[in-house]
Chains A and B, each alone.
Chain A
Amino acid sequence: MSELVRLTSATKQFSGRQGLSVTALKDVTLSIRRGEFVMVVGPSGSGKSTLLFTVGGMARPTGGTVHFGDTDVYALSPSRRAALRRARLGFIFQTFNLLPYLSCLDNVTVPAVLDGQPRKAGLARGRELLGQIGLAARIAHRPAELSVGERQRVALCRSLINAPDLLLADEPTGNLDHQATLGVLELFKAQNALGLTILMVTHDLNLAEQGTRLIRLEAGSVVEDRPCRHSGVSV
């Protein structure tokens, strides 16, 4: 499998009040290959989300580099980084972050609109994705009219509409009940089986073993990097 993401000595420090700084990532070096389903675990404040946003081109590291394929992500201009996110990355959040004033279908098509794709094609793709996850009847509904599980599935469709290379998921099941969690995980696995690379942050250690690779962070450093027990896939 070819390398998709490479972090080299990535460090991220936040300057706090009174000159105190907090190190969220400390000299992290790792690579993610195409087709991997990487689970990132660790206690609160260990730098999991920071890692995710650093890979996603949204949090410039204070040291080190982040490469997406051959591209040095933070050597790009902000607009080119935005274009990279639009075309090659998909984001999913714990709180879904659907736009409340848009219908399900419009929410799903937002990345396509941002990418300047023809509206008809975006709508057709959005309908197709929503149909695949059983939400065809809900396309005109607003997020507030959906269950949390449905919202997260809509968010998943949104992240997939531009056919990204990498899906970044920040605790996507954190707000879901057990049943909805399993449903979302199955969708992730199905996408991964189709070749989508996934980097997912989770608190749930059982869930974390459902990926292909597990990375544990503590105090901003990688302290464990191994294949998941249930995956049967070597890394």
Chain B
Amino acid sequence: MTGLRGMQAGFWLARRDLRGRPGSFLAGSLVVAVIVSLGVAAEVILRAKGQAVRTEIDRMGPALRLVPAGNTGSDLARFDLGPAAFDQRMMDDLRAAIAPLCRVLDGRLVVRETIQGRSTPVIGVDPDGSFASHGNFSELEEGRVWLGSELARTLMSQPGEELVLGGRAARIAGILGETASADDLAAFVPLEPLQRALGREGAVNLIDVYPRQGVEPAEVIERLDPWRSRVHVLEMDRGRSSTSSIARMEAGLERHRRAWYGVSAFVLALCIFIWSHLNAVEKRIEVATLVALGCGRGSVLLLLATQAAAVGAAGTLLGYGLGALIALAQDHDGARNFVFSLKLLSAMELGAVLACVLGALPAGLLAGLREHAAVLQES
């Protein structure tokens, strides 16, 4: 029996065997589930912790800051960026060019406005997307303002009080913690209302760039080269030092992760080999009978491999659920962002099924080569 015919027969027998004897199938699936659950839990926790570290790094500030050409780092430090800005179309072009390398592109509009008669830096930020050393801006909506700690001290303002910002009344939503940065001197308002109030819809003059895990800022800078005449790139201290050391740490972690997965896959394949072998030994009379009825070695091999693949697929689903629960129990807040990952589930399914099939192949070969006539005579 060769080719398609053998495959069809192997699948037919495997399907009926799994349906007719769920006990053996369940036992094999549980073995797979335990191993996969450990892998899933470790992976999800690793991702959650990695994300937590990166978030902490991001709180220090972005790796790169983009300002319109003609501005300098000193201009930005003084919040004196002038009238030039990136329009919506330019933002879209930049996003298309560097988004694959970045986790966040945070567009801001930095202007100077009068607060209580004083010229004050005012930064329009996206309340849902902005990162800052003091965390994301909550409760930042139209008519509200967050004040930097130094600015609040100077104005002697308290949360809940009203002030006049650029001729418009605004209630103080909160006072930011001290960061020992220029942010301490600024006021933060929602981006869109600020753009509307200034008649600069869609315009931003500062883009904070947070590269993806493992991406060096230099790669992003290279992608920005075509816009050199319109964009001035400021590489921040964090970008030069923290990012590269984090990248080195993550590369090390990646090596450990690969080693862990290699060992897990080997253990899984070994378990499935033992399961398949015991399965084949237990069913040796059935296998010998099938051979007598005209089943080829290929079909015997396929029969066991198909069963192992089914066990691997079902066990992985079960193991994924278990692993997700373990991860959530250990680090609920961090893990919940990563447990529902179709990509991770697919990768686990593919890896586990492959390991199971590889594990079943030697058992299938041994089963096919057995002296079937002797088995039938013994029976």
Among A49, A86, A87, A101, point to the contact of B21 (Cβ < 8 A): A101
Q: How would you classify the secondary structure of chain B's contact residues: helix, strand, loop or mixed? A: helix
How long is the Cα–Cα vector from A85 to B295 in the complex, in angstroms?
9
Q: Is B241 an interface residue (CB 8 A)?
A: no
Instruction: Indicate if B255 sits at the interface (CB-CB under 8 A).
Output: no
B 274-286 binary contact with A (CB < 8 Å = 1; else 0) = 0000000000011
Distance in angstroms from B112 CB to nearest chain A CB is 80
A58 (CB) vs chain B CBs: closest residue: B373
| Given known contacts A83-B1, A93-B376, A102-B16, A78 and B290 CB-to-CB distance under 8 angstroms | no
A158 touches which one: B293, B296, B371, B374 (CB < 8 A)? Answer: B293
Chain A residues bordering chain B, tally (CB within 8 A): 34
Of B2-10, B192-200, B346-354, which stretch is located at the interface? Answer: B2-10
Report the Cα distance A58→B289, complex, angstroms. 11
**Which of chain B's residues have a CB closer than 8 A to the CB of A89?**
294
- Cα distance A110–B303 in the bound complex, in angstroms: 14
Question: Are A79 and B294 in contact, CB atoms less than 8 angstroms apart?
Answer: no
Q: Which residues of B contact A82 (CB under 8 A)?
A: 1, 291, 294-297
Establish whether residues A115 and B294, one from each chain, have CB atoms under 8 Å apart when the complex forms: yes
Q: A86–B20 contact, CB under 8 A?
A: no
Contacts of B13 in A (CB 8 A): 110, 113
Known: A79-B2, A106-B16. A114 touches B294 (CB 8 A): yes
Q: Which of B8, B20, B294 contacts A83 (CB 8 A)?
A: B294
- A101 adjacent to B20 (CB under 8 Å): yes
Number of B residues, CB within 8 Å of A: 33
Instruction: Check B20–A97 contact: CB distance below 8 A.
Output: no
Chain A neighbourhood of B373, CB < 8 A: 50, 53, 56, 58-59
Which of A87, A93, A101 interacts with B16 by CB under 8 Å? A101
Is B74 an interface position by the 8 A CB rule? no
- Let me know if B293 and A58 touch, CB within 8 A: no
Residue of A nearest to B299 (CB): A114
A85 CA to B289 CA, complexed, in Å: 12
Per-position binary interface string of chain B over residues 1-42, scored 1 when its CB falls under 8 Å from any chain A CB and 0 otherwise: 110110011001100110111000000000000000000000
The reply to whether the CB of A170 lies closer than 8 angstroms to some CB of chain B is yes
A134 interfacial by beta-carbon distance below 8 Å: no
On A, residues with C-beta under 8 Å from B are 49-50, 53, 56, 58-59, 78-79, 82-87, 89, 91, 93, 95, 97, 99-102, 106, 110-111, 113-116, 142, 158, 162, 170
B residues adjacent to A (C-beta < 8 A) = 1-2, 4-5, 8-9, 12-13, 16-17, 19-21, 285-286, 289-299, 371-374, 376-377, 379
Cβ contacts A to B, 30 pairs, < 8 Å: A49-B376, A49-B377, A56-B292, A58-B292, A58-B372, A58-B376, A59-B374, A78-B296, A79-B297, A82-B297, A83-B1, A83-B294, A87-B294, A91-B293, A97-B286, A97-B292, A100-B20, A101-B17, A101-B20, A102-B20, A106-B16, A110-B13, A113-B13, A114-B1, A114-B5, A114-B9, A116-B8, A116-B9, A158-B293, A170-B376
6 closest cross-chain pairs (CB), A and B: A101-B20, A86-B294, A116-B5, A53-B373, A59-B373, A97-B289
